[in-house]
Structure 1
Amino acid sequence: MSNPQSEPTYTIGELAREFAITPRSIRFYEEQGLISPARTGQNRIYCNKDRVRLKLILRGKRLGFSLAEVKNLFELYDTNPDSAVQLETMLQLTEQKRAVLTQQLEDITMLMQELDDVEARCQEELSELKRGNIA
């Protein structure tokens, strides 16, 4: 639904297909104040800014950021697009996410070792039982 005289616009369906999400998800992000499409009657008209923000929302979610954290970054950018505060906030959030993931990785590694130990003990006992039945 592009308008050749100005910047391109998109329907909710076009964005939903492009990003492989539901229109309901897009409406939810709008309700949360993350995107704000123009309206023509009941129809939402999304501009390139909305499209870029949708892409950033989905990337943030994939990286483990909450919608509140994404919204905070958007607000910092809207207040001052060239703000070092936004970059510093993003660095802090990235550091926090990395720390959480590192801890989760350590926990998973420990659990995998425990599973290996349990499996080895079970295999050993099973072998002993089989040898006992054969002998």
Structure 2
Amino acid sequence: MASRARDPEGEVETWTIREIAEEFDVTHRTVRHYEELGLISPERHGTTRIYHRRDKTRLGLILRGKRLGFPLEEIRTIIDLYDAPRGRRSQLEYVLGQIDERRTDLEQRRRDIEDALTELAGFEDRCREDLSKLPG
């Protein structure tokens, strides 16, 4: 059985949904959504949710993955790999593959945006030139 993080008094550290939401600057609804999807699994005491370090770690990984543009199913796969028998090695190998794919996609998007901006600038120049030729 894995040991749990303990505070200085030796108690297991836990957090409420309010504390978790504030720490990650997300809404309670967002936290509950990830719970409904099975991405995090807080302990339940009636209607009260008790979050442990594992939940915080997973939520941090979810939010980082979202910021990087990964879809939730990819994030789930990455997080679930952490619990797989090979642990971090398989997770890191998978993540590196996903990073390569994401980077390729983002670089193509950047090229597309740069092309669109160049085309837009040319169109703007022609419009300004045509406008300057018109009487006041």
RMSD: 1.6
Partner of 2:40: 35
Query: Structure 1 unaligned runs (5+)?
Result: none
Distance 1:94 1:80 in 2: 22
Partner of 1:107: 112
Equivalent AA in structure 1 for residue 93 of structure 2? E
The TM-score with structure 1 as length reference comes to 0.89
The number of equivalent residue pairs is 130
The TM-score with structure 2 as length reference comes to 0.89
Partner of 1:68: 73
Q: Per chain length, whose mean CA-contact separation is higher, i.e. which structure has more relative contact order (CA < 8 Å, sep 6+)?
A: 1
**1:55-109, Cα deviation, whole Å (9 max, x unpaired):** 1110100001111111111111111363422111101100010011011000000
Distance 1:115 1:71 in 2: 39
Instruction: Between 78-87 and 92-101, report the one with greater CA deviation.
Output: 78-87
Distance 2:58 2:97 in 1: 20
Partner of 1:48: 53
Whichever structure has more helix as a proportion of its residues is 1
Identity within the alignment, %: 45
- Larger Rg, first or second structure (1 or 2): 1
